Amino acid sequence: MSKPYALVVDDHPMVANSIAAFLNTHCGYKRAYVAASRQECDRFIEEKGSPQLLVLDFWLPDGTALQLIRELLQKASTIRLLVISGDENNNVQHKAREVGAHGFVHKHDSPQVFNCAVTALQNGQFWFPETSDPALLPSSLPHFQTFGLTQRQTEVLAMMLRGFSNKRIAIALAVSEPTIKEHITSILSKLGVTNRVEAITLLQGQRPTL
C-alpha cells in the first residue's frame, strides 16, 4: 500500500511549488508533489495511487476544475479536495462546494489560514469562508463562552474558525486590526493554545458545520 501523500495541481510553478513545500514543512506531509495540468494529475494518481490531500486551483489551463473534481471523487471518494483561487467572486467557492470539494481557500489568505484549512480537512471537516453576516455566527456557539470568553471574543473566535483574516474580522466588527489582534491573543491564552491551528484541533467536534 502506498504511503499518504499530497498533490498540488496548479499551472503556476512558483505557486504550486511553494504550496507543496509548505505542506512538507507545516502540514505533516513527507511527500507533496506538483502537477501542472489535469493530465499530469491523472498520471500521478495512476502511478502513485490516490493522494490523501489534493490542493487544486479552480482555474486550470483548459478551464475550471469542476469536472476534474467530479471525476476525482468518482475514482477515489477518500481524497480530501481543497480548492484554491485568486478569484474574488464568491460563486467560485460555491461551485466548488456544489460538486463535492471539501474546502476552499483564497490565494491571498495567510499561510496560517491555509494551514487551518488543511488541518480541518485532515480531521474530516470542511472549510469554506462564510459569506453571510459574520456578526450572526456566535448565536450558534454559546458553549464557547465556557472557556471564559467574552461575547466579543466569542464572535472573533467564531470567525477565526471559519477562516476569516484579521482584516476581515475587523471590518465585520467595525473595529481596528490591532484591536482584533489583542482579542486573538487573549482568546488563545484562555484556550491554552499558541496559534489558530492548535485552536482548531482543540475545538474539533465543537466547530459548527460550514
Which residue, among 106, 207, 194, has the nearest Cα to 158 in the 3D structure? 207
Domain boundary among 97, 122, 147: 122
Q: Is 48 exposed, middle or buried (0-12, 13-18, 19+ CB in 10 A)?
A: middle
Cα–Cα distance measured from residue 152 to residue 138, given in angstroms and rounded to the nearest whole number: 9
Kindly state whether residue 91 falls inside one of the protein's structural domains.
Answer: yes
Contact 99/119 with Cβ under 8 angstroms? no
List residues bridging with 7 in a β-sheet: 33, 54
- How far is the C-alpha of 34 from the C-alpha of 10, rounded, in Å? 8
Among 63, 94, 122, residue at a domain's last position: 122
Per-residue pLDDT of the chain (210 residues; tens, 9 = 90+): 456 899 999 999 999 999 999 999 999 999 999 999 999 999 999 999 999 999 999 998 888 999 999 999 988 888 999 999 988 777 888 899 899 999 999 888 888 888 888 988 988 888 887 544 444 344 445 566 678 888 788 888 888 877 778 888 887 777 888 999 999 999 999 999 998 888 877 876 554 333
Which residue do the cell numbers 470542511 mark?
Answer: 126
Q: Are residues 117 and 140 in the same domain?
A: no
Give the model's pLDDT for residue 134: 43
The pLDDT value given to residue 84: 96
Q: β-strands 59-60, 53-57: how paired?
A: unpaired
Domain co-membership, 145 together with 118: no
From 80, 97, 122, the end of a domain falls on: 122
Is the CB of residue 87 less than 8 Å from the CB of residue 109? no
Tell whether 33 is covered by a domain: yes
HSE value, Cβ hemisphere, 13 Å, CA-based, for 164: 27
Flag whether 210 is in a domain. Answer: no
Same domain, 75 and 165: no
For position 111, what pLDDT does the model report? 86
Q: Are residues 180 and 113 part of one domain?
A: no
Residues 16 and 85 in one domain: yes
Q: How far apart are CA 187 and CA 9, in angstroms?
A: 35
CA 75 – CA 209 distance, rounded (Å): 26
pLDDT number for residue 155: 80
In 74-204, DSSP assigns E strands to 80-85, 103-106
Which structural domain range is residue 30 located in?
Answer: 6-122
pLDDT at 50: 92
| CATH code of residue 159 | 1.10.10.10
Measured CA to CA, the distance from residue 31 to residue 6 in angstroms comes to 6
pLDDT of residue 80: 95
Domain count, the chain: 2
* Same domain, residue pair 187 and 141: yes
**Quick one: which H or E segment has residue 33?**
strand 32-35
pTM of the entire predicted model: 0.66
User: Are residue 25 and residue 112 in the same domain, yes or no?
Assistant: yes
Check residue 143 and give its pLDDT. 60
